[in-house]
Amino acid sequence: MQYDVVVIGSGPGGYVAAIRCGQLGLKTAIIEKYNTLGGTCLNVGCIPSKALLDSSEHYHNASKHFPEHGINLSNLKVDLKQMIKRKNGVVEQTTGGITFLMKKNKVTTYQGIGSFVDKNTIKITKEDGAAEEITTKHVIIATGSKPASLPFLKIDKKRIITSTEALNLTEVPKKLILIGGGVIGLELGSVYARLGAKVTVIEYLDSIIPTMDKGLGKELQKSLKGLGFEFLLSHKVTGASVKGKTVTVTAEDAKGAPVSVEGDYCLVAVGRTAYSEGLNLEAIGITLEERGKKIPVNEHLETPVAGIYAIGDVIKGAMLAHKAEEEGVYVAEQIAGQKPHINYNLIPGVVYTWPEVASVGATEEQLKTDGRKYKSGSFPFKASGRARASMDTEGFIKVLADADTDEILGVHMIGPRVADIIAEAVVAMEYRASAEDIARICHAHPTFTESLKEAALAATANRAIHI
Ligand code: FAD
C-alpha cells in the first residue's frame, strides 16, 4: 500500500494529525500497537482521570457539603467497582469515537507495532508476529510517553503503582503514599483522598506543581491540606519496599535525616518519559536527544530525516494532550504545503483538582528573572457572588501585565472552573490584549468569569469593583 502520510501512534497527537491529513485530501494511515485508539490520553490519562475526578467530587460534595445546602442523605457509600465501570464506559465511548472519526476521514487503521524499514517503508508487526509493510511519502511519529520511575524503585504494579494502575484500583487505599507533587499525582491523590484515603505527598522540591506560578502551588497546598493531604516537601525518596499489604517508603529530609512513611499503596508520579522503543530509528539514522530521550525536531517539527516528522510527548516541550493536538494539525498542514503556526508561549496548563488550577504565559518568577517590569492584579473568589452561591470560594485569579504597555503577560488562576476560564485569557493573549481590554469587556453576572475581569481591573490602576 502506498500512502502520502503514515502516522505512528494514535494518541491526541497522532489521531488529530491523521484526521487533519484526511481533511486535506492526503492518503493517510495510522498505526496503533494497542487494540483501542486514543493513546495515553483517552485510555489511561486525561479522560479516565477526569471521569474519576468527577465521580469522587460528587461523593465528596454529597458527604461534606450537601448538609449545608440543606440536603441530607443517609447510607451514603462509595461503590468503587461501579465508579471504575463508569470510567471504563466513558473511555470505551471516547476511543470508539476515534475509530468512527478515522473512518469518516478515510484514514486506514493498522493495529500492531510500527517500525522503520527505511524512511519510506514501515513494517507493522502484530502481537502474533505476523507482519506487513506499507510505503509512504511522509511519516509522523506520535508514539508518546510512558510513566517515569526512579532508578532504585521497583514498580510491582500491585502496591507500588503508576497512574495506569491507580485508575483501576479495586479498593480505596487506607493510606496512599504519593511520590511526586506534580499534576498527575495530585489529581489521582485527590480522587482517593475524596473517597477517604489518607494521602501523604513526598516531593523533592520545596513546592508542589513547581513549574507553575508559586502562588498557585501555595494555595493548592492549603486547599489539599483541608482535604487531609500531608506534605513532605524538600524530601528525597531513597527507597521503597513491600511486605504483605504494607509499603514502606524511605526518604531524607532537607537536612539529610532519614524519614520513613508507611501506607498500603504507593503511587509513583515523578513525570513521564518519551517513548520511542520499537520504532527502529537506527534504520533511518535518528539519534535520540540525550536529555529526556526525545526525538530531535527542527522548528517545523521535522526530524533530521526529511519527510519524517515527530509530535507530542515524544518531542521537546510540555507533555500535554492539547500541545500534541496543535502539533498534529501543524504537521499535517505543513505536509499539505500550508504555513501553519503554533504559539508555544500560549499553551495553557491545567490541574483538575478542586479547586482547579490553570495558567498561561509568564509566571511572576519568570518575569522577575527576566527583569521585566510588570503590574499584578488579583481577585479572590471569596469576593465573587457566584462563588459564594456555590460555596466555591477558595482561590483567586491573578493577571500580570507589562508595566508600560499594559499587555497581558501571564494569567494564573486557582478556583472553581478555572480550567474553562483560562480559555478567555488565552484568547486575549493570542490577540495581544491589554489588561484594560479585559477590564472593559462585559462579563455576564453572576459568573466565575467576572473574577477575571475584576483581576484585570485590579491590574489596571487597582480599580477592581467588588473588593
Ligand atoms: P500518547 O497519548 O502517549 O499516544 C502514543 C500512542 O502511540 C500510544 O497509544 C502508544 O501505544 C502508541 N505507540 C507507541 N509506539 C508505537 C509503535 N511503535 N507503533 C504503534 N503504536 C505505537 N494532558 C492534558 O493535556 N490534560 C490532562 O488532563 C492530562 N491528564 C493526564 C492524566 C494522566 C493520568 C496521564 C498519564 C497523562 C495525562 N495527560 C494530560 C498527558 C497526556 O495524556 C499526554 O500529553 C498525551 O497523551 C500525549 O499525546 P501523544 O499523542 O504525544 O502520545
pLDDT digits (tens, 9 = 90+) for 149-161: 999 999 999 999 9
pLDDT of residue 348: 98
Catalytic residue among 58, 69, 445, 466: 445
CB 300 within 8 A of CB 319: no
- Percent above pLDDT 70 for the chain: 100
Atom of ligand 1 nearest to the CA of 41: 43
Q: How confident is the model at residue 291 (pLDDT cuts 50, 70, 90)?
A: confident
Q: How confident is the model at residue 412 (pLDDT cuts 50, 70, 90)?
A: very high
Pocket test for ligand 1, best of 34, 41, 357 (most atoms within 8 A of CB): 41
Ligand 1 centroid to Cα of residue 114, in Å, is: 16
Domains and CATH numbers, the chain: 2-147+273-336 (3.50.50.60), 160-270 (3.50.50.60), 355-461 (3.30.390.30)
Binding residues: 50, 114, 143-145, 180-187, 203, 271, 313, 319-322
pLDDT of residue 268: 98
Q: Whose CA is nearest to atom 47 of ligand 1?
A: 41
Name all residues whose Cβ lies below 6 A of ligand 1: 8-14, 31-34, 39-41, 45-46, 49, 113-114, 142-145, 163, 184, 275, 278-279, 312-314, 319-322, 324, 352
| 445 carries an active-site annotation | yes
Over residues 325-357, the pLDDT tens digits come to 999 999 999 999 999 999 999 999 999 999 999
DSSP result, 372-415: --EEEEEEEGGG-HHHHHTT----EEEEEEETTT-BEEEEEEEE
Length of the chain, please?
A: 467
Ranges assigned E (strand) in 216-256: 230-232, 236-243, 246-252
The ipTM (two decimal places) reads: 0.99
pLDDT of residue 375: 98
DSSP code for 452: H
CB 374 within 8 A of CB 400: yes
- Cell 533511518 locates to 284
Give the closest residue to 96 by CA, choosing from 35, 16, 19. Answer: 35
Binding residues for FAD: 50, 114, 143-145, 313, 319-322
CA distances from 108 to 10, 302, 389 (A): 12, 23, 50
Binding residues for NAD(+): 180-187, 203, 271
